[in-house]
Chains A and B, each alone.
Chain A
Amino acid sequence: MTGSIALLGQPNSGKSTIYNNLTGARQHVGNWAGKTVEKNEGSFTYNGVKYTVTDLPGSYGLSGNSDEEIITTDFIKSGKSELTVVLVDASQLERSMFMLAEFARLDKPAMLVLNMMDVAKDMGKDIDTDALAKKLGIPVLPFNATDTKDYDKLKKLIAEELKKPHRLSVKAPEGKADVKADSKAKFDWVSEILENVTRTRESVYKMSKFDRVMTRPILGKVICIAVVLLAFMVSMIVMLPFAGVGQMIPTLLHEPVDKLLTGWNVHPWIVNIFSMMIPNTLSFTISMASFVLGVNIVFGFLEETGFIARAAYQFDGLLSKLGLQGKAICPMLMGFGCTIGGACGTRVMDNWGQRMLAMSIVWAIPCASIWSIIPVVSGMFFTWWQTMLVCVGILAYVVVSMIIVSKVFGRKLAPMETRSGMIMELPPYHKAHWKHILKEAFFKAWGIFKRALGTVTLVSLIFYVLSFSRDGNVNNSLLYRVGTTIEPVTKFFGMGWQTFVAFLSGAFAKEAVLGTLNAVFMGGNSVMEAAFFSQGTSTDTALLGTAMSQAVSAAEALAFMFATTFSVPCLMALSTTYKESHSLKWTVKVALFYICNALVLSCIVYHVAELFM
């Protein structure tokens, strides 16, 4: 036996918390057919019966013609789910009951969940749920989304209702042609229902201390930036123990596996796959997933307390120029630390289009690894003040790059008509529920680990095949042959085969760039070792600098730095974006754009620099 339900509620009604707690790990994420709106489906089992749960996209109403509202209305009308669970926020009862007024017109089986009863109680609000149920003709369940005991009551009620569903017995609000009159009719309907159910006390609103500070025009912005940078550091701290264990895998496995397989006379091509590529790929993926864990914990916390909404208030004006909501400031700042963190930090965005656009823009932000490479490479060719200029130039181009990306992809991902300014609620400051945050973060990190491992292994294998050489000499690798063959072309873009190979390895891992330069200019190690054993190889930058400056002109070096900085982020960030967006098409589209953009940029920088240097 099976049953199916749908969850309907406004943003901030606690819908996703209830969805996650109901379904746990049994979730499937995709997109609604032909739409850039995320589709969440999950299931739970209660008393041996399996129930599927559809989390309908969040919106404030159903009458508008946004994709979210059309999808929701069509889905409910289709009857694909047997019962709609309507969620309202008990602490903002009158306003959030608007959704029920909208739903009433669809006339389908339903039950009502009054979430955040604890907050309502703290506010001194009395709600007579029995009287409300009587008036509406459907069951009403008082609820706290963070109280695990309440879920049993919810599941029990769902099971009962599916056997004998109720429809609203109260007449739906009258439809009016004029939007203004129509909304008024709906709110009048709500007021009528709530009469004698609850009293709204007229009182003067006093901002909390938290809000008084967070909404200050300048201080608020400074705090937002500081908090996100702190959040990045905390994420790193969460990652360290896991990543440490992950890094032990290649160290422990490399030699024994190498010895064992070589002893069996296995071809070195195969030996290296098992002794070097697979252990390191595993280690990379563990580091990535543990960082995702850290980011999800801190962002979960910031979201639940209401911090993200305040950041959105502070930065909306600035980011709306890029077609983004103000909330995007958090993943963007995170991107200066690590693009993986930026990509999974976009979880705070309200819809899929905004998420994908934010991820595409976060890619333009040079991560900490890039900032550790650029000064080193620049130092080989330029004086300290010229290096400063290079960094300033890169920072300036970050802004240009963001604008280009938002122009190219913004129209499709965040259509103009959906961009009409910010109308947003600032939910009251909530205490964080750690158990719930941790549980969700672990689910996410584990999911990313499982799903990314395949992608990462596949791309690693390709890079391995390209960089493999039996004796460690670069000249015997496929990469060398490909690089030298197309050198006439890459030369036009300002890169010789050596810097082009280093540019390619940057798409694999930014940390590999210096090791690759070392391999191609000095032969000190192989490109393969640079890519998979980046922590094991050491680079003497002084010697490398001498070798490089003999082979490469300053203009070429400058072009190379720009190309490396503004190309695609590393493989881990790419696969995080793919897993977070569930869209291979868009990830590839944006990646191709970045590669082309990097080459064109390199070409321009090279030819312009040649005029002056």
Chain B
Amino acid sequence: MKLTDSTADMQGRILSVGGDDHFMNRITSIGITEGTAFQTVRNDRKMPVLIYLRETLISLNRADAERIEVEAV
């Protein structure tokens, strides 16, 4: 599923990240890489998605979160 489809408190893992090199650089340098475990903290309509990953609370806007495939674990 897409990260935007995950629900609050879901424990999951990043499956794949898609986008151009610029986007990939930004997203991976903050720690969002394939295989990383994370937790969805908040996912409200029209608001950025909040996830907890590598001991950090990260906010992603919805357009970017749509490009991230995740699975629940």
Q: Does A313 sit at the interface, judged by CB under 8 A?
A: yes
Could you say which of A187, A422, A428 contacts B59, with CB atoms under 8 Å apart?
A422
Q: Does A424 sit at the interface, judged by CB under 8 A?
A: yes
| Size range of the chain B interface in the assembly | 35 or more
Cβ A205 vs Cβ B52 within 8 A:
yes
The minimal Cβ–Cβ distance linking B8 to chain A, given in whole angstroms, is: 10
Which of the segments A177-185, A500-508, A597-605 contacts the partner chain?
A177-185
A422-B47 Cα distance, complex, nearest whole Å: 11
Given contacts A205-B52, A217-B47, contact A60 B60 (CB under 8 A): no
Q: Does A421 sit at the interface, judged by CB under 8 A?
A: yes
Provide the residues of chain A in CB contact with B56, threshold 8 Å: 92, 95, 425
Given contacts A184-B33, A217-B44, contact A423 B26 (CB under 8 A): yes
Which of the segments A61-69, A297-305, A473-481, A569-577 contacts the partner chain?
A61-69
Cβ A215 vs Cβ B55 within 8 A:
no
A204-B55 Cα distance, complex, nearest whole Å: 10
Residue of B nearest to A220 (CB): B47
Cβ A95 vs Cβ B31 within 8 A:
yes
| Size range of the chain A interface in the assembly | 35 or more
Most buried by A among B11, B28, B60, B64: B28
**Interface residues as binary, B37-65 with A (CB distance below 8 Å gives 1, 0 otherwise):** 10101101111101010111111110110
Could you say which of B17, B44, B54 contacts A92, with CB atoms under 8 Å apart?
B54
Cβ A98 vs Cβ B31 within 8 A:
yes
Most buried by A among B24, B25, B60: B25
Cβ A64 vs Cβ B54 within 8 A:
no
The minimal Cβ–Cβ distance linking A58 to chain B, given in whole angstroms, is: 12
A207-B51 Cα distance, complex, nearest whole Å: 11
A427-B21 Cα distance, complex, nearest whole Å: 26
Provide the residues of chain B in CB contact with A608, threshold 8 Å: none
Most buried by A among B21, B33, B46, B55: B55
Please provide the chain A residues from 181 to 198 with a CB less than 8 Å away from any CB of chain B in the complex: 183-184, 187
The minimal Cβ–Cβ distance linking B46 to chain A, given in whole angstroms, is: 7
Given contacts A94-B55, A417-B22, A425-B58, contact A313 B30 (CB under 8 A): no
A60-B57 Cα distance, complex, nearest whole Å: 15
A424-B29 Cα distance, complex, nearest whole Å: 11
Provide the residues of chain A in CB contact with B37, threshold 8 Å: 202
Provide the residues of chain B in CB contact with A64, threshold 8 Å: 22, 25-26, 29
Given contacts A92-B54, A205-B41, A425-B59, contact A180 B64 (CB under 8 A): no
Q: Does A270 sit at the interface, judged by CB under 8 A?
A: no
Most buried by B among A180, A217, A427, A428: A180
Given contacts A204-B11, A420-B64, A423-B58, contact A313 B48 (CB under 8 A): yes
Q: Does B34 sit at the interface, judged by CB under 8 A?
A: yes
Cβ A94 vs Cβ B54 within 8 A:
yes
A564-B30 Cα distance, complex, nearest whole Å: 46
Cβ A91 vs Cβ B24 within 8 A:
no
Provide the residues of chain A in CB contact with B33, threshold 8 Å: 180, 183-184, 187
Given contacts A64-B26, A426-B50, contact A180 B34 (CB under 8 A): yes
Provide the residues of chain A in CB contact with B22, threshold 8 Å: 64-65, 417, 420
The minimal Cβ–Cβ distance linking A563 to chain B, given in whole angstroms, is: 38
The minimal Cβ–Cβ distance linking B15 to chain A, given in whole angstroms, is: 12
Residue of A nearest to B42 (CB): A215
Cβ B31 vs Cβ A421 within 8 A:
no
A200-B52 Cα distance, complex, nearest whole Å: 14
Could you say which of B28, B45, B52, B54 contacts A179, with CB atoms under 8 Å apart?
B28
Residue of A nearest to B27 (CB): A423
Q: Does A316 sit at the interface, judged by CB under 8 A?
A: yes
A184-B37 Cα distance, complex, nearest whole Å: 14
Cβ B64 vs Cβ A423 within 8 A:
yes
Provide the residues of chain B in CB contact with A200, threshold 8 Å: 55
Provide the residues of chain B in CB contact with A454, threshold 8 Å: none
The minimal Cβ–Cβ distance linking A202 to chain B, given in whole angstroms, is: 7
**Interface residues as binary, A79-98 with B (CB distance below 8 Å gives 1, 0 otherwise):** 00000000000011111001
Q: Does A488 sit at the interface, judged by CB under 8 A?
A: no
- Among all A-B residue pairs, the 7 with the closest Cβ atoms: A61-B29, A183-B28, A60-B29, A64-B25, A205-B52, A421-B61, A95-B54
Sample of 16 A–B contacts (CB below 8 Å): A59-B29, A64-B26, A65-B22, A94-B55, A179-B24, A207-B42, A316-B59, A317-B47, A317-B48, A421-B64, A422-B61, A423-B59, A423-B61, A425-B59, A426-B58, A427-B57
